[in-house]
Structure 1
Amino acid sequence: MSTKILSIGTAVPAARLDQPRARDFFAAQPGVSRLTARLIGAAFDQSAIDHRYSVIGQIGSGGTLFSEDGELLRAPSTGERNAVYRRAAPPLSEAAARDALERSGFDAAEITHVVTASCTGFFAPGPDYLLVKQLGIPRTAERTHIGFMGCAAAFPALRTAQAIADARPGAVVLVVCTELCSLHIRSSSDPEQIVASAVFGDGAGAAIVSSAEPKPGRPWLETGVFSTAITAEGEQDMDWTIGDSGFEMRLTAEVPRIIGREIAGVVEAMLGGADPLGDVDAWAVHPGGRSVLDRVQGGVGLPDEAMAHSRAVLRDFGNMSSATILFILQRILADETLADGARVAGLCFGPGLTVETARLTLRTADAVGEPAGTVAATPETVAEVPEPRREPV
């Protein structure tokens, strides 16, 4: 029996950050020079993002965490930021998990393993523990947390779930990736921090992975080969460290250039020499930013339609770190233009510079006899969770 991604669920916070409004907020911070204001304008306007979602509230309004008046952005300590993570991450994780369970047709009582991934906050017992209690998962469920692997962590999480399902026939694994990137925004003249403020958003993605038979009428993704590659350079160009005033992202302009130079070789190895145009029907590429997608498309020679799902998720949600690729795979699951057996190739990029890859096969609802009247899943159906309370931490 093959291992399958039976369903994918997603969730975002209630507050939507419109890109022009967020741009003007950062440009208006005290001490921002004309040069910095121009850099902010360019980073936001060229991001190919319309809006993102955030647990800190609508930036530029009086209801924004880390800003008492909606105008001045404070620089909270790492502890204060992490306290918000502790409050806001569990309900977002739960919402995505419930969405995935509902789409799969499985019950929480059938879950045997929980795998979580996150790099934007820490606490213990963590979201993996709370998911068991919140969802009614058996307390004997085995839990694994994958921490601080950055934007690429979803594929290692799914790879772990695949290994569990392969080794234990009948296992049902809940995978949840939750990232609250907005907790670490800051006002800065550093071009790298400006880019981070312009592209990152919050969200959670969840998947049900199992070798069990799928419920009738539901499409799924058959898992294939996962692989990892480390680029020849990039260790100093993309990293994620913990500072006194939040986590600090280094994302230099070299990152898309390195990806552009090396991605063809990574893809060739991933596909075993197969044709990326003729032998792949759908691409799921992590949108680290618009320039990253541009470099992947150019380096592999992909047509515009191959990048459509990745660009749509970037436009509507921004870069949600590890959760983002699950939003893209959810769209592919719901893509009615793809036939049963469609071959899917996935690429994620993380600190290092690390490239995580996946080969999947789409199986449509018709393959298991879709009942008459069944409504296909819609792409980007997301559950929203309430904004966190404005309370002392």
Structure 2
Amino acid sequence: MVSEHGAGRALIQGIGTALPPHRLCQDDVFAKIEASLREDPHALRWAKRIFKQCGVQVRYTCEEDFLKPADQCTYLSTDKQQAAPSTSKRMEVYRRESVPLAEKAAEEAIRDAGVEASGITHILTVSCTGQFLPGLDTVLIHRLGLSARIQRIPLTFQGCAAGLRAIQLAQQIVSASPAATVLIVCVELCTIHLQPSGSREALFGASFFGDGASACIVSSGEADQQGGFQLGGGHSVLLPDSADEMIWEVGDTGFDLYLSPNIPKLLRTFLRDEVDRLLDGGALPPLWAIHPGGRGIVDAVQDLFGLEDSQTEFSRNVLRDFGNLSSATLLFVLKGMRERLREQGEGERSGVALAFGPGLTAELLRFTYVPSFVTKRESSYEYAGL
């Protein structure tokens, strides 16, 4: 049940998502991987296994190069003499493609929340797949018509968990300053870091990462006909003895990703205590927004807490239809969940959001689906004297 009203309350009012134009079927991606590994049968057997088991059917990419035949695709080239794109080249693609994708998601979130762009007090930009200066936040301020005096908080290179970290940070801002309105924008272009390699690490990334952007508005809220998510308590934790289980490093041909196959096992070992702490020993809620970092991660959470398939379907649907979009993914999950709850006319329902990133970091947050609430109409800048 909702226990906080007025001051201190934080709600996700609006959610927006965006995808790049190029659709990648999993079979087409594997065909390119297969061609690039024709001289490495051991790696090819491994690739077949992980592509079959990862739970992805379709992904999206900003890079048209992936639509070319295998012998012409520079990112996954079969020509050993052809150099893969350099990191600087990939960052050029990131700067060109990330801005319009982020802008589209942000515009949808602002419309969905019914707020004025000029009244937004904070912008949190999240990404781990690229960076440029002046940053994404400064470009969005001009494109979206945000205040030049808006408070800017970039969260960079924090991996898949950063989307939920941003939501928790926004909650803290709004709880401390109820007149604040926070815009969160996550954009990830994971596919620009795919590389022609037979290593297990590179093949993991090639099997399930995709591109996309998501955004949301967090504010204290006061009446609206549409439902949203009220944010409750949450925390972050570094799981013990796991610092080397997820690594994301800058290489000469893009960012090099290492994902350990031990991550699901680590979650089974340590996550129950963290969820018990989050819930203060209370009963498990009906709603679960799990970041689908891979099928094994969703399986681990479902098995650990004895969840029904209906409780993990939002995460599995996002993984199947879009892949792992790193920090942007969790808002895709929450958007799908919200749409279903609205369609079914559900009343208040409690939930838990979970995301995982390098460290190994776990982000945990309680939330409640609220069928209706009031949106404040006054200028948010009055509280700060801006």
On whether the aligned pair clears a TM of 0.5, the verdict is yes
Q: Which residue of 38, 42, 50 maps to 1:35?
A: 42
- Please give the per-residue CA displacement for 1:161-182, whole angstroms capped at 9, x wherever unaligned: 1122122221111100111100
- CA distance in structure 2 between the aligned counterparts of 1:284 and 1:136, rounded to whole angstroms: 32
Q: 1:298 aligns with which of 293, 297, 303?
A: 303
- Give the match for residue 253 of structure 2: 245
CA deviation map 1:75-118 (0-9, x unaligned): 21111111110111111100000110111111211211111111
Q: Paired residue for 2:146, among 122, 137, 153?
A: 137
Equivalent position of 2:58 in the other structure: 51
The verdict on how the C-alpha distance between 1:70 and 1:85 changes in structure 2, with shifts beyond 3 A counting, is: same
Residue by residue over 1:167-224, the C-alpha shift from the partner in whole angstroms, topping out at 9 and shown as x without a partner, is 222111110011110010011111121011101001111000111324x222111111
Provide the rounded CA distance (Å) in 2 between the counterparts of 1:34 and 1:70: 17
Matches within 5 A, 1:111-190: 111-190=120-199
Match of 2:291 among 276, 286, 291: 286
Is residue 2:325 matched to residue 1:316?
no
TM-score normalised over the length of structure 1: 0.88
- Alpha-carbon separation, structure 2, partners of 1:338 and 1:320: 29
Amino acid aligned to 1:222: Q
Q: CA deviation at 1:245?
A: 1.3
Task: Specify whether residues 58 and 330 from structure 1 end up closer, same or farther in structure 2 by C-alpha distance, changes over 3 A only.
Answer: farther
CA deviation string 1:134-160 (max 9, x = no partner): 011111111110111100001211122
What is the CA–CA distance in structure 2 between the aligned matches of 1:291 and 1:51, rounded to whole Å?
Answer: 18
Contact 2:71 2:78 in 1 (8 A): no
Provide closer, same or farther for how the CA distance between residues 103 and 261 of structure 1 changes in structure 2, counting only shifts above 3 A: same
Give the Å deviation of 1:338: 6.5
| Counterpart-to-counterpart distance in 2, 1:97 and 1:347 | 23
Task: Please show how residues 334-353 of structure 1 align to structure 2 within 5 Å.
Answer: 334-336=339-341, 337=344, 339-353=346-360
2:228 aligns to what? 220
State TM-score, norm by structure 2. Answer: 0.90
- Equivalent in the alignment of 1:195: 204
Instruction: Evaluate the alpha carbon distance shift between residue 225 and residue 189 of structure 1 in structure 2; reply closer, same or farther with a 3 A threshold.
Output: same
> Helix, strand or coil: the match of 2:66?
coil
Higher alpha-carbon deviation: 117-126 or 38-47: 38-47
Shift of the 251–19 alpha-carbon distance from structure 1 to 2, 3 Å rule, reads same
- 1:235-280 deviation per Cα after TM superposition (whole angstroms, max 9, x unaligned): 111111111111111101111111122222221122111122xxx1
- Contact 2:287 2:311 survives alignment (8 Å): yes
Q: Deviations over 1:290-323 (max 9, x none)?
A: 1111111111221111101000000001000000
Go from structure 1 to structure 2 and tell me whether the alpha carbon gap of 1:246 and 1:290 turns closer, same or farther (over 3 Å shift).
same
| 5+ residue gaps, structure 2 | 1-5, 376-386
Stretches of 4+ aligned residues off by more than 6 angstroms: 68-71
Change (3 A) 1:252 1:338: farther
DSSP-derived class of the 2:126 partner: strand
Conserved 8 A contact 2:185-2:216 = yes
What is the CA-CA distance between 1:339 and the residue it aligns to? Answer: 2.4
Shift in alpha-carbon separation, 1:60–1:29, aligned structure 2, 3 A: farther
> How far apart, CA to CA, are the structure 1 residues paired with 2:14 and 2:329?
15
* Pair 1:269 & 2:277 matched: yes
User: What is the RMSD of the two structures over their aligned residues, measured on CA atoms?
Assistant: 2.1
- Distance in 1 of aligned mates of 2:176 and 2:71: 47
